[in-house]
């Protein structure tokens, strides 16, 4: 039967084999899905085949005259999907989900960023399409009409192959599709196209959660969340009461640049100085997912985890939230955001209303001339300077959020704005990153000087935090050149640390090594302002608390605890970085997965609307 089918449908078989091998090569050598044993290699090799058989079988339903066009069209469309994931993976070390496809408001600003990710050699990813075209045009290959029996056996074989794939995946990674938040692991085991089918099933499931959400569902999650809370440190309660609040999001700023140099020149001289005069939390990790900067904003405002797929700013902007801006607003604060990009980017114009902001100063509120812009908007110095006119007029006290932009991928900077030379690593992205980090540091220095001149400094509190990584795993080789050591899985997690600085004029500086995340910023700010947050729904804890759990969950299910670091099914000792038995991490793995799952239930079900009542 199989031999007869292959003989009579050679063009179909050629198309399947070419596509199968191409997808395997991309998954094996282009995506960030490393293999460590023979079973993982086998899975990577076989998992594209069932998807290839399924999608190319569509051509068999068409007449012999149209079949060749359909085969070629499927090959091209499939190649575009693979390539889109490759471009996405190069920057985010992640894969496209259905929610990210609906973030179309962002597409207009992505041109330069996407262009820098394209490589000349990418043309070879479409080589199979060209080869199939040549086979169709120049080689005499005839396909017969397919019978119902043949189609039945084809689908039975495809299903059996997929089932075999799932069995092997379950052996390698038990409960992969039910408890994993790591998309690279899913792709490694079932392949990029089967992953997209899995993603579609997830999207269908979560779309029903909000419709059928009930108040008793909120009671269950609320009871769980209350068990996570620890008492805030009362020694710090209210020490910033009545002060203006400046929350500054440091675009793409990772902690490894702090107190580091390039050719003897400090990368962040101002931040280094202000750390000495501030509360500096040296072990705070970003917890963002596919929403990047918007996810960081969500974490800070709500002390909830962002979603595992897409950006919550897009998918759930109409939910009810008890956001930080809303809470401080009820205490007499006037809350604003300064961000010199279009107000619709990341759907901020809608989400900010849900979070409780009183005013959003977007690109429409700034005087923007071409020489004042770089990359995604106004240069940071210009953005800070122009915001002063608005700050002078704000009702006091105010809560002001600033989102910097210059240190954004692809890290472009005009020569006249450079305060340090480019790096000299094998990655131009990393080389430029050093320059834009240094520029943002200088912009912060200028802003603090301006606030002092405007008498807005002394009676204020400043929270500066990095929003997400700037240098992805794609540039690990170059980063290892700069850091002078190889980068392991353990190091990759340590590189997710971001600056977290709380500066209160008049307070002495102190470095605090507690382990935390962006999810802890909301309860920390509220305690400093003396605002009772005891009954709120928070997954974070006051960073100053003496009763902290010292467990930080990352969005992909990785975690850092007082003793362990866990990622991609590997467990490490936190202090030494040595790999240890996975059993040491297992109790924390379950707790982290539960936290992420409960937070997702709150957002998908819009459960806070029951709290608000």
Residue identified by tokens 């009671």 is 219
User: What is the Cα–Cα distance from 390 to 336, expressed in whole angstroms?
Assistant: 10
Give one DSSP letter per residue of 220-271, joined into a string: HHHHHHHHH-----TTSTTTTTT-EEEEEEETT--GGGTT-EETTEES-HHH
User: What is the Cα–Cα distance from 394 to 335, expressed in whole angstroms?
Assistant: 9
User: What is the Cα–Cα distance from 317 to 336, expressed in whole angstroms?
Assistant: 18
Which residues fall within 8 angstroms of residue 585, CB to CB, at 6 or more apart?
A: 559, 564, 566, 571
Asked if residues 254 and 288 have their Cβ atoms less than 8 Å apart, the reply is no
User: What is the Cα–Cα distance from 279 to 503, expressed in whole angstroms?
Assistant: 6
Asked if residues 300 and 286 have their Cβ atoms less than 8 Å apart, the reply is no
User: What is the Cα–Cα distance from 427 to 425, expressed in whole angstroms?
Assistant: 5
Helices and strands: H and E segment counts in the chain:
24, 17
Catalytic, 293? Answer yes
- Which of the residues 100, 237, 293, 514 is marked catalytic? 293
β-strands 244-250, 460-466 pairing: parallel
Cβ atoms within 10 A of the Cβ of 135, count?
Answer: 19
What per-residue string of b and e applies to 416-434 under the rule 16 or more CB within 10 Å gives b?
ebeebebbebebebbbbbb
Nearest to 569 by CA among 41, 91, 29, 176: 176
As annotated, the active-site residues are 293
């Amino acid at each position: 039967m199989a031999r007869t089918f292959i003989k009579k449908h050679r063009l179909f078989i050629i198309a399947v084999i070419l596509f199968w091998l191409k997808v395997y090569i991309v998954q094996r050598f282009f995506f960030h899905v490393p293999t460590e044993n023979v079973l993982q290699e086998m899975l990577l090799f076989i998992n594209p085949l069932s998807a290839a058989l399924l999608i190319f079988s569509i051509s068999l339903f068409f007449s012999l005259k149209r079949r060749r066009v359909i085969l070629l069209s499927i090959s091209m469309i499939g190649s575009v999907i693979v390539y889109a994931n490759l471009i996405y993976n190069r920057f985010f070390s992640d894969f496209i989900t259905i929610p990210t496809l609906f973030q179309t408001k962002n597409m207009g600003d992505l041109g330069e960023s996407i262009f820098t990710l394209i490589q000349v050699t990418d043309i070879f990813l479409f080589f199979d399409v060209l080869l199939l075209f040549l086979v169709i045009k120049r080689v005499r290959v005839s396909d017969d009409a397919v019978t119902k029996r043949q189609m039945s056996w084809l689908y039975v074989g495809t299903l059996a192959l997929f089932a075999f794939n799932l069995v092997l995946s379950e052996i390698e990674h038990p409960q992969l599709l039910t408890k994993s938040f790591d998309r690279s692991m899913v792709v490694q085991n079932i392949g990029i196209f089967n992953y997209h089918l899995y993603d579609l099933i997830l999207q269908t499931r979560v779309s029903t959660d909000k419709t059928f959400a009930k108040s008793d569902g909120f009671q269950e999650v609320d009871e769980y969340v209350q068990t996570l809370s620890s008492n805030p440190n009362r020694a710090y309660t209210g020490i910033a009461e009545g002060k203006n609040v400046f929350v500054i999001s440091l675009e793409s700023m990772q902690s490894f640049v702090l107190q580091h140099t390039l050719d003897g020149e400090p990368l962040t001289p101002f931040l280094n100085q202000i750390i000495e005069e501030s509360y500096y939390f040296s072990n705070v990790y970003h917890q963002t997912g596919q929403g990047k900067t918007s996810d960081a904003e969500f974490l800070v405002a709500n002390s909830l985890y962002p979603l595992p797929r897409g950006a919550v700013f897009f998918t759930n902007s109409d939910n009810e939230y008890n956001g930080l801006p809303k809470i401080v607003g009820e205490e007499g604060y006037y809350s604003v955001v300064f961000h010199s990009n279009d107000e619709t980017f990341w759907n901020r114009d809608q989400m900010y209303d849900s979070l409780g902001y009183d005013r959003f100063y977007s690109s429409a509120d700034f005087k923007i001339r071409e020489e004042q812009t770089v990359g995604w908007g106004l240069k940071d110095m210009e953005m800070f300077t122009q915001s002063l006119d608005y700050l002078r007029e704000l009702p006091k006290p105010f809560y002001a959020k600033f989102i910097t932009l210059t240190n954004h991928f692809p890290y472009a900077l005009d020569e006249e704005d450079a305060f340090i030379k480019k790096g000299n690593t094998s990655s131009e992205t990393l080389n430029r990153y050093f320059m834009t980090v240094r520029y943002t540091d200088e912009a912060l220095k200028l802003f603090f000087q301006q606030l002092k001149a405007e008498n807005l400094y002394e009676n204020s509190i400043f929270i500066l935090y990095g929003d997400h990584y700037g240098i992805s795993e794609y540039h690990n080789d170059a980063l290892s050149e700069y850091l002078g050591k190889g980068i392991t899985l353990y190091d990759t997690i340590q590189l997710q640390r971001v600056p977290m600085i709380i500066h209160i004029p008049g307070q002495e500086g102190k470095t605090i090594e507690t382990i935390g995340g962006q999810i802890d910023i909301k309860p920390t700010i509220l305690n400093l302002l003396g605002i009772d947050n005891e009954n709120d729904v928070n997954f974070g804890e006051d960073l100053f608390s003496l009763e902290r759990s010292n467990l930080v969950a990352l969005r992909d299910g990785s975690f850092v605890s007082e003793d362990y670091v866990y990622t991609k099914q590997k467990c490490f000792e936190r202090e030494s970085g040595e790999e240890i038995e996975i059993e040491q991490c297992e109790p924390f793995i379950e707790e982290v997965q539960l936290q992420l799952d409960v937070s997702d239930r709150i957002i998908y079900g819009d459960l806070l609307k029951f709290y608000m009542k």
